Structures are given as structure tokens and as C-alpha cells.
Amino acid sequence: MGVKNELPSSTRRPAHSGRQSFFNLGLALSLCTVTYLFASVYQIREARPFRAYQSLTYDKLAQELCPQPGALIPSATRELWEGIGDDIGSAEFKVKAIEWLAGAIGVSTETFDDMGPVDEDPRWENRALFLDYLEKAFPLVHSTLPLTKINTYGLVYIWQGSDPSLKPILLMAHYDVVPVNPETVDEWQHPPYSGFYDGTNIWGRGSLDDKSALIGTISAIEILLSKSFQPTRTVVIQFGFDEEGGGSRGAGKIAEYLLETYGEDSFAFVIDEGGGFSESYGTQFATPGVAEKGSTNVNIEVATPGGHSSVPPDHTSIGILSALLVRLEDNPFEVHIDRTTPIYTFFLCLASHAKIFPKELRKDIIDSVKSDRALRQAEEKLFKNKVYKSLVGTTQAIDIVQGGVKSNALPEQALAVVNHRISVTSTVSETYAHDTELFLPLAERFNLTYETFGQQIRPKGFSSSGTLKLSSGGGLDPAPVTPITWGEAAPYEFLSGTIKGVYRAHREGSQLELEDEIIVSPGMPTGNTDTKYYWSLSRHIFRYNHHNQGNDSNALSGAHTVNEHVTADSLLETIRFFVTLILNADESRAF
């Protein structure tokens, strides 16, 4: 019998309707492959009997299952690159870089969910202050590169290359931040908008998400301009201003402009925020995101007759809603690993390259290339890690509950909002079908008229005790997976080699044993990014910040919560990464 793409018990249908299977990957915020990696993996599965592995040494087997490219650094501009590297390593530059990020953090650019149109809500106006800051901090960029403002605060810089036949690259970041809860300000080690540097870390809201990436991008260009570098390949930079609110006013409008200006599939690759690199199982893994889960919010509304609380029914709207939510949490989506997804290759990379890895799990993962039984065993062990499990499958989180207006009045309405992050092997419609079928028994039990997403499931009848309605303001299907198979993955191979080149260059002369190379594997961010608006602009979209995230236990470093911070060394490496990326892309003719 041939190898199946997934466990036999897995389907592509929701768990309660027989229409669900799932996937997904990422390493903490991120968690989260080269051409040869995926080419080899898929060719092995199709052409090589598993017993053929038995003749391979362990090192050879690791290279077969998770090949790694060599480090990629500039060739034609080697002297320029090395000189900039020396500058980045100097004490003077470190002070300047810290000042750049601290100044950016010092301009509060909070995005709130209830913000109105850009030309009406005054809370957008701090974006103008941020632009003023950028113009002062990076004078060469603003005196040299044309800047187009989209929807007032969206920023598009175009660094025109000399060869129009080369596809441009697109570098993205956003400069808005999640609000700081006033009640938690005293919990911050340093004021959230101070940009305080303590000798190791730079503190403040946006230090990690996403102003350090923005500063890394724009400072790299400032440095290259100061060295009189002129690109052959056009570089486009876009900075969004409302990513934390969904990005529709910023990146959404910018995407429309770029599509009109350049056309479909016009960019060689796109890089936006995402995972970085961190230590996992004793080995450094970089996990550029090559996919994104879908997402949707489902509103669960229960309506029942009101009245005085002294004569209550058996079940109020709040009681019914509670029963619905208990059923939801008692019946999570089934989660299974699919061999066709990037997470499976990530697990292969762990098993092939992680120095400290459970022996039995390593064997199960390697054996799973051929054996469904081994895949089940690996799955059972891997899913003890909640990050892995939540990123593989469709998730559900009850985030909002409302109901009742007075203690002696029966609640006429009760509402809950459930956030789903949708497996890349599923869809929004399958998620809706799952929820619809899940609640049908309770609609019948409580004698409720049942309407789901515009369709009547249980028609309104004379004896109905109330109504149950499921609705959504819309959903986002999972993103297209960035090409990572033979003949299509040149940009991924390029990025992987660049990551390795920067990692090595930044550590030369340190005590690090450089033979302990960083391993690059496909990853996926835990949330959606502004790239959801850019699917038509490039088939090669990566979600990756070259941040040193330490280890799995501290990968988020306070993003979206108190004490957000980033190390100064990580900021310097981020700048080095963008300098190297631009120079490497300028020389490459593989895309």
C-alpha cells in the first residue's frame, strides 16, 4: 500500500461533520525550506523505499531529510559588505542604532480596535509625528528615495534599480503598536515608551513588534546610501500603520497601489514580520514563515423572552449560551499532522539536526516517512507541546462574553465571540460547517430557532423558546504556501543561505563554535500579518524577522504585553541581515 499524505483517521472535513483535517506550524511568535530540502524530501517519499535509508550514515540521512544550503554572502560587493560589517561591530554604531530604535519607540503609535476613518479620528495623528521622526533620523533615505504616502500614513519608498528586467524585492514592516494597558504601566521595568537601554536590552512597546524590523530595514538603506551604493535590482519598502488593527487602512491600501503600479506576481519575493531564530533542543533553528493560518470570528447569539427574575424559565439565555460554550470547549477540532505541509518538514529537520532530542521521538519522526503508525506515535509525543499542536490544527478561543443588563431582569440576549485560527489544510467554510453541526443538538434540546451564517437550520416555529444565531463578519482562508518544491524555491534557498551567512558573520571572532551552524527550516507565524493583502504580488512571501529570540521559553520577549524588549545585539544583527539581504539580492539572478 502506498504512503498516504496523512493519518488514515484524518479527513479534510470538520471533526463533527466528517469534513476536516488540519495542519500548521510556527515557533512562538513566531515559530514559526530550501529548494533542495523539499525536493529531496518529496522525491525520497515517492521514489526511495524506506529500507534504503538503512544504508546511510546518520549524517547522510540528516542531509537527505533536511538538506541545508551553504552560507550566502555578497561576492561582487564583498569589500563594501565587509566594511559595513566592521562599522556595525563598532561601539559608535551601536550607540547610533540604539538611539534610532529608542527614538522610534518614543513616538507612541497605538492602534485601537474602534478607530474611525483616518481623516476623522484624531488618534491617527501620532503617525505624522512618527514620520517626522523618520525624516530626521534617516536624512539620506528621505533626500534620495521617492516617498509615496498611501491613505495619509502608509509609507512606500522606492529605491530604483538600474536593471528593469529584474523583479524588485519588497521589504515590509509596520510601525503601529498594541496599546499599553494603563493598569499595567507600573508592572513595566522601564516606562513603555521610554526606549530605555539598560546595557543589554532596549525596552518599550514596539521594540520587538515591529519597530526593530522597521529600523533594521531603513537603517540598512541609510548605511548603503552613505557608501554610495546604487542597486541593480529595485528595492521597494513599505511601512504599514494599522497592522495591529487588521491592516486594511495601511497595508491593504498600499497593496492596491503596488498592484496598480507593478502588476500581479511582480515581486521576486516579499519579506514581512514573523519568526526569527531560537534555540530548540540544543540547536539554533531559523524558521521563516512560508504559510499562514486562516482566521475568523464566530458570533454566537442567544435570544430568549425577558421578564422578571422572580419567575425564571428553566434556562435563561446566559445559561443556554454557557451550555453552548461548554460543548465547544469539550469538542475541540481533531488535529493530525499532514505530510504535505511545512510543519512535517520542520519536524523532519528537528529529528535530523537537533542535538538534544528524545531518541524514541527522533526514530518515530524518521520512520514516519514510510510508516503511518510511526506518524501517529510521533504525533502523540509532539502534541504534548501546546505550541506545536495549536499551530498544526484549527483552534478555538472564547474571547468575549456578554449578557444581561440588571440583576432582577431576565437576560433577553447573550453573546459570545469565538476566534478560530484555521489550519492550512482547511477553510473558513469548513470551520463554519463544524460549528454549525456542533451546536445542532443543543438547538434541538433547548427548542431554539437555529440560523447559521445566513441559513435557517431549524425554521422558526410557534413553539420556539428562543433563537440561536451564528454569524461572522467575514473570514480569511489560509494563505497560499510559498513554493518550496523542486524548481520553484530559488527565493527560499536564497533566503536560507542569507540567514546562514549573516548568522556566521555576526559571530565571527566570538567564542561560538562556528561549526555549530544554524539550521533553517520552514515555519509559520502564530498570527496573521500584513502579507494577507499581498498574495497577488508574489508567490514567494516570507514572514521572518532575523531576531535572536534566545530559547523557546522567552521567544516573545513581552510582545503584546508588559516589558516588551529586544537586545541591542539582536538589533545590530537585524541591521546586518537587511544589508546582506539587499546586497545578495542585487547579485542574484536566480529569480
Residues marked active site are found at: 176, 243
**What is the C-alpha separation between 19 and 16, in angstroms, rounded?**
8
Residue 253 parent element (H or E): helix 251-262
**What is the C-alpha separation between 238 and 254, in angstroms, rounded?**
8
What are the residues whose beta carbons fall under 8 Å from the beta carbon of 554, sequence distance 6 or more?
Answer: none
C-alpha dist (Å) from residue 319 to 304, 315, 466: 11, 5, 13
Residue 276's closest CA among 262, 286, 261?
Answer: 286
Q: What are 146's three cell numbers?
A: 521617492
Residue 225's closest CA among 324, 84, 334, 338?
Answer: 84
For residue 124, give the DSSP letter: G
**What is the C-alpha separation between 428 and 233, in angstroms, rounded?**
38
Sign of CA dihedral 165, 256, 471, 323: positive
Q: What is the DSSP string of 531-566?
A: GGG-TTT-S-EEEEEEEEEEEGGGTTTTTTSTT-EE
Buried-exposed string 358-379: b where 16+ CB fall within 10 A, e elsewhere: eeebbebbbbbbbebebbbbbb
**What is the C-alpha separation between 324 and 442, in angstroms, rounded?**
7
C-alpha dist (Å) from residue 79 to 70, 75, 82, 86, 288: 20, 8, 5, 11, 28
- Reduce the DSSP state of residue 99 to 3 states and report it: helix
* Whether the bond into 265 is cis, omega within 30 of 0: no
Q: Exposed, middle or buried by CB within 10 Å (0-12, 13-18, 19+), for 423?
A: buried
Q: What are 407's three cell numbers?
A: 440583576
| Number of residues that this document lists for the chain | 591
DSSP β-ladder status, 455-458 and 448-452:
antiparallel
**What is the C-alpha separation between 174 and 155, in angstroms, rounded?**
10
**What is the C-alpha separation between 496 and 500, in angstroms, rounded?**
6
CB 93 within 8 A of CB 87: yes
Q: Which residue has the cell 531576531?
A: 547
Q: Which residue has the cell 496523512?
A: 6
- Rounded to a whole number of angstroms, the CA Rg of the chain reads 26
Q: What residues pair up with 280 in beta bridges, in sequence order?
A: 283
DSSP β-ladder status, 455-458 and 519-520:
unpaired
